[in-house]
């Protein structure tokens, strides 16, 4: 294979890996009946007029399987922290006792589990679309290179097969991640 095509294949693999890693980080934020501090990663608190990630403002611990405890470094930010958690789409009401903020995760209902499974499937499908778009971009670049460098049709066909192999590998990873997350959500 030509060095230019090898380089393009390398960049494609990097982009596909990033897309799968992004899906993995998105799945961590999906609540599956257990308390996981990662679901608070996207919560931004208005801290003295500037949006600050909650995880930078507090220690977050899991004392019980269905409870998170938030111990703020600066207690004056408690009111804004509670407001940010309520405004998020977690669907959990925090309780503030003056020292700690507690988040108690209710047992998931069957209906909520089905909604979460739909959400997980949609995330997986969105990720697959990103992967396919990366494949299309790589093939377009290869066709432009063919015109510029005037290499054989066989080289292009071999590259297309390598690209498809890479895509199939990452789509299989997405499918596996999706099935595992669905299983985790439906587990009672």
For 73-115, the pLDDT digits (tens) are: 999 999 999 999 888 877 788 999 888 999 988 887 888 888 8
Would the CA dihedral through 69, 73, 79, 85 be positive or negative? negative
**37-104 CATH choice from 3.40.50.300, 1.20.120.920, 3.30.300.30, 3.30.1360.40:** 3.30.1360.40
Express as a percent the part of the chain with pLDDT over 70: 98
Express as a percent the part of the chain with pLDDT over 90: 56
pLDDT at 90: 75
Nearest to 113 by CA among 8, 185, 43: 185
- In the chain, where does the domain assigned CATH 3.30.1360.40 lie? 37-104
CB atoms within 10 A of CB 114: 13
- Cα torsion 169, 170, 172, 174 to 10°: value is 170
- In the chain, where does the domain assigned CATH 1.10.132.20 lie? 3-29+109-186
Cβ neighbours of residue 69 under 8 Å, at least 6 residues apart? 60, 61, 62, 63, 100, 101, 102, 103
Give 147 or 131, the one with higher predicted confidence. 131
Instruction: Determine the Cα angle at 101 with ends 98 and 106, to 5°.
Output: 135
**Any idea which architecture 3-29+109-186 has in CATH?**
Orthogonal Bundle (1.10)
pLDDT band at 123 (very low <50, low <70, confident <90, very high): very high
């Amino acid at each position: 294979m030509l060095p230019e095509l090898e380089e393009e294949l390398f960049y494609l693999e990097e982009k596909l890996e990033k897309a799968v890693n992004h899906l993995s980080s998105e799945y961590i934020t999906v609540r599956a009946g257990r308390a996981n501090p990662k679901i608070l990663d996207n919560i931004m608190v208005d801290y003295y007029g500037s949006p600050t990630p909650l995880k930078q403002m507090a220690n977050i611990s899991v004392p019980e399987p269905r409870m998170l405890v938030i111990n703020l470094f600066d207690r004056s930010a408690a009111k804004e922290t509670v407001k940010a958690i309520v405004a998020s789409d977690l669907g959990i009401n925090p309780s503030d006792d003056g020292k700690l903020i507690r988040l108690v995760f209710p047992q998931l209902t069957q209906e909520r589990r089905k909604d979460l499974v739909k959400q997980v499937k949609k995330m997986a499908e969105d990720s697959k679309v990103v992967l396919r778009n990366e494949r299309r971009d790589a093939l377009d670049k290869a066709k432009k290179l063919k015109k510029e460098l005037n290499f054989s049709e066989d080289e292009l066909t071999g590259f297309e097969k390598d690209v498809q192999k890479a895509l199939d590998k990452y789509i299989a990873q997405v499918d596996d991640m999706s099935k595992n997350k669905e299983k985790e959500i439906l587990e009672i």
